[in-house]
Amino acid sequence: MSVTVLEQANIFEIRTDKSSYVFGINEKGIIQHLYWGAHVEAADCGYLLKSRLHSSFDAEIDRETEEYGGWGGCNYAEPALKVSFADGVRDLKLRYEGYRVVGENEIVLRMVDSYYPLDIEVHYKAIPEYDLIERFVHVRNSQTESVRIEQVTAAVWTVQALPDYRMTHVTGRWAGEYQLRSTVLSEGKKVLESRRGFTGPHANPWFAIDNGKADETSGSVWFGALGWSGNWKIVAEKSTFGHVRIVGGVNDFDSAFVLAPGEVYATPVFVGGFTSGGFGQMSRNLHKYQRDYVLPTSELRKVLYNSWEATEFAVTVEGQKELAQQAARLGVERFVVDDGWFGERHSDRAGLGDWYVNAEKFPNGLEELIDYVKELGMEFGLWVEPESVNPNSDLFRAHPEWVYQFPTREGTQLRNQLLLNLGLPEVKQFVLHFMTTLLTKYDIRFIKWDMNRTVTEPGTVASGQDVGASMWIKHVDHLYDIWAELRGRFPHVEFETCAGGGARIDLGILRYADQAWISDNTDARDRISIQEGFSYAYSPSVMMCWVTESPHGFNGRSLPLSYRFHSAMMGGLGIGANISKWSTEEMEKAKRYVELYKEIRPVILNGDMYRLSSLRDSNVAAYQYNSKDRSESVVFTFLQSQHFGSEVRHLLLQGLVSHASYEVNIDEGEPFVRQGSTLMNLGVAVSLRGDYKSIMIRIKRLE
């Protein structure tokens, strides 16, 4: 049981294996946050439940920290909820009404406005084994009139009593996603958000706070991740009284909506956690949580081949067959045809929206290729981009009113395409229908679902359909509905989330997606940084990585095949090169890497990941993966460039059993035996010389 209620003292504790989260009801009926961190005795926190007025300019609300508060009275902090009532009153006074405990791990607090019957349920669901709490809110309009919701967030997290607050987050852009940043929070706000209609490559809804001293292996870290794939906002606000509140949910920008009488709005889930084990433990807790509670399947990622970088739009049945034959020789398990197979899609200027198989490219239908792929022992996968349309398409010519647009404006084209208004019921039906036809007619086992542009001009000319600003929310709701429906109808099909690379990855879409394409940048060196940033919040079990050409088109950088494979073996392995041009020697080497990957795959995808060293502050990057029972471990080490002749370094491994003996294999070298304690404290000596060298170490426990 994670929830304890001290009725007399009006104090509540959510206790996970290694954390306490304590709040109480003060004499004004406000739910006040009291403590979040390593275990404490909840009853001892009672003295914190006091009104702490400072001056008439700084109301007590500035000093106290509300668990979930409305905009009203003298509350000037970023509000959790802001509404406008039908009579024009825009002041919310939420008062605690009661609680209920659901099952072992959930508590729901009920709040209601002091005058208007607007009911708020604040949900907390503990995940005790990973020291996490899922939070979300239900807003019920029990009035007879509508209420306008101007801002509604999923949770407010409070971190307090640190001398300094450092916030870590990711930023990026197309082909450069998941770049880590950290900043010291001074008084005021740091806002992370998306206003682009999807999660975005520019920021991602995940944050971590520490005192500036936590590292990979030690220190207290408070963190959270929001599950929403549309416009989102996370505001970290440091008050002048020294605490930090992190408020997050669907972005309120341009997003007010009307809640009709009797209607309930449910926010997305915002999960938060605490660890005293540094950023490494934070990531491992999030990874395990995703695997156990968020992701739809626990299947291991299949080794895939994707034809995009080899052919781009020049798809032909013969070309694809040739690639498939080569892919099968490498041991690939899933063959995926990317963009260019449908409609008049010969470039990015036409065809998007016309989801029929192009008869010139596939004169005998798609079946010919699918059968061929299956005969080679692989399953077949296909790329789609259902939310977009080229103006030069039959779909657009038939339904120009289906795209986002304002009546007096021309829609902005990005990559020569417009975006369908998925919020319209007929568009939702269209997408569901063509996807159902495709998945019924053909033996397709995998869908890569792309979205290659942001939302602009978010209006509609479809008559009687204007849902106003809430279209931002509707698009995502309908997207989730479609994925849920398709997963139900086609349980044997796996889905990948892609948006021009990694622009739609968050805990919302990961409830429906088995895997994620994290960047169009497949340069194996750049990928190390992108994959490292990604791993702070997201599990390697969803992270798809391809081996592609050298020199690479993005940077012109040449990298050895070993480096390219090692970098891509850190998650779900894929091959995206033009393998019909690979030499026999390259094919032989690649085949061995695929075999090796299949051996270590359970450790990589289901194990615990440790970031041992980073190219952010060293010329060596190293990542270790341990099997759950710590009997097996895999380490990838990458040298940027050797300097000053110092070639040997000791990598301090983590998470092994101290007293156990392990056999260590460094690449193809002679195996040797070391104790777990030695490997963790003295380390394992690796010798790296030159530029872009990489080494893989395998470690196995001896009985």
Report the catalytic residues: 450, 520
Return the C-alpha torsion angle 388, 393, 396, 397, nearest 10.
Answer: 180
| Minimum distance of ligand GLA from residue 352's CB (angstroms) | 9
Asked whether the beta carbons of 206 and 228 are under 8 A apart, the reply is: no
**Strands 379-384 and 334-337, how do they pair?**
parallel
| C-alpha distances out from residue 93 to 74, 96, 249, Å | 10, 10, 20
Residue 342 or residue 383: which is nearer to ligand GLA going by CB? 383
| Minimum distance of ligand GLA from residue 568's CB (angstroms) | 14
Q: Select the residue interacting with ligand GLA from 121, 338, 523, 549 (CB under 6 A).
A: 338
Residue 395, token pair as written in the block: 């779909």
Give the Cα separation of 256 and 259 in Å (integer). Answer: 10
Note the helical H segments in 513-553. Answer: 524-537
Residue 239 or residue 521: which is nearer to ligand GLA going by CB? 521
| Minimum distance of ligand GLA from residue 421's CB (angstroms) | 21
| Minimum distance of ligand GLA from residue 294's CB (angstroms) | 22
Residue 282 or residue 498: which is nearer to ligand GLA going by CB? 498
Among 204, 244, 129, 154, which Cα is nearest to 536's? 204
Residues 520-579 within binding reach of ligand GLA (CB under 6 A): 520
Q: Select the residue interacting with ligand GLA from 501, 508, 574, 655 (CB under 6 A).
A: 501
Residue 354 or residue 520: which is nearer to ligand GLA going by CB? 520
Residue 373 or residue 499: which is nearer to ligand GLA going by CB? 499
Can you tell me which residue has the tokens 């850190």? Answer: 570
Residue 182, token pair as written in the block: 């950290």
Residues 302-331 within binding reach of ligand GLA (CB under 6 A): 308
Stretch that binds ligand GLA, among 46-54, 207-215, 495-503, 591-599 (CB under 6 A): 495-503
Give the Cα separation of 296 and 257 in Å (integer). Answer: 30
Residue 333 or residue 520: which is nearer to ligand GLA going by CB? 520
**Strands 11-15 and 166-171, how do they pair?**
unpaired
Residue 311 or residue 326: which is nearer to ligand GLA going by CB? 311
**Site track for ligand GLA across 644-683, x = CB under 6 A:** ----------------------------------------
Residue 245 or residue 301: which is nearer to ligand GLA going by CB? 301
| Minimum distance of ligand GLA from residue 520's CB (angstroms) | 5
Residue 488 burial by Cβ neighbours in a 10 Å radius (0-12, 13-18, 19+): exposed
Look at the chain and count its residues.
703
The DSSP call for residue 376 is: T
CB count, 10 Å around CB of 596? 16
Among 654, 657, 659, which Cα is nearest to 283's? 654
| Minimum distance of ligand GLA from residue 306's CB (angstroms) | 7
| Minimum distance of ligand GLA from residue 307's CB (angstroms) | 10
**Strands 446-449 and 494-497, how do they pair?**
parallel
How far apart are the two ends of the chain, measured CA to CA in Å? Answer: 37
Q: Select the residue interacting with ligand GLA from 383, 396, 472, 625 (CB under 6 A).
A: 383
Residue 85 or residue 308: which is nearer to ligand GLA going by CB? 308
| Minimum distance of ligand GLA from residue 497's CB (angstroms) | 11
Stretch that binds ligand GLA, among 224-232, 386-394, 458-466, 498-506 (CB under 6 A): 498-506
Can you tell me which residue has the tokens 């971190």? Answer: 159
Asked whether the beta carbons of 548 and 309 are under 8 A apart, the reply is: yes
Residue 36 or residue 362: which is nearer to ligand GLA going by CB? 362
Give the Cα separation of 48 and 41 in Å (integer). Answer: 13
Residues 30-49 within binding reach of ligand GLA (CB under 6 A): none
SS (H, E, C) 107-161: EEEEEEECCCCEEEEEEEEEEHHHCEEEEEEEEEECCCCCEEEEEEEEEEEEECC
Asked whether the beta carbons of 193 and 209 are under 8 A apart, the reply is: no
Residue 679, token pair as written in the block: 């490997």
Stretch that binds ligand GLA, among 2-10, 12-20, 180-188, 496-504 (CB under 6 A): 496-504
CB count, 10 Å around CB of 433? 11
| Minimum distance of ligand GLA from residue 501's CB (angstroms) | 5
Q: Select the residue interacting with ligand GLA from 137, 315, 447, 498 (CB under 6 A).
A: 498
Asked whether the beta carbons of 121 and 108 are under 8 A apart, the reply is: yes
Residues 499-531: b if buried by 16+ CB within 10 A, e if exposed: bbbbbbbbbbbbbbbbbbbbbbbbbbbbbbbbb
| Minimum distance of ligand GLA from residue 517's CB (angstroms) | 6
Stretch that binds ligand GLA, among 176-184, 222-230, 292-300, 497-505 (CB under 6 A): 497-505
- Helix and strand counts by DSSP (H, E) for the chain: 12, 38
Give the Cα separation of 691 and 697 in Å (integer). Answer: 19
- Binding residues for ligand GLA, rule CB under 6 A, total 11
Residues 414-473 within binding reach of ligand GLA (CB under 6 A): 450, 452
Residue 224 or residue 501: which is nearer to ligand GLA going by CB? 501
Residue 495, token pair as written in the block: 């889905």
Q: Which long-range contacts (CB under 8 A, 24 or more apart) does 676-683 make?
A: 679/653, 680/652, 680/653, 680/654, 680/656, 681/652, 682/650, 682/652, 683/650, 683/651, 683/652, 683/653
Asked whether the beta carbons of 679 and 630 are under 8 A apart, the reply is: no
Using the rule CB under 6 A, is 177 a contact of ligand GLA?
no
Residue nearest to ligand GLA (CB): 339
| Minimum distance of ligand GLA from residue 530's CB (angstroms) | 13
Give the Cα separation of 341 and 382 in Å (integer). Answer: 9
Residue 72 or residue 501: which is nearer to ligand GLA going by CB? 501
Stretch that binds ligand GLA, among 176-184, 269-277, 465-473, 494-502 (CB under 6 A): 494-502
Q: Select the residue interacting with ligand GLA from 119, 339, 506, 532 (CB under 6 A).
A: 339
| Minimum distance of ligand GLA from residue 229's CB (angstroms) | 16
Residues found near ligand GLA in the complex (CB under 6 A): 308, 338-339, 383, 450, 452, 498, 500-501, 517, 520
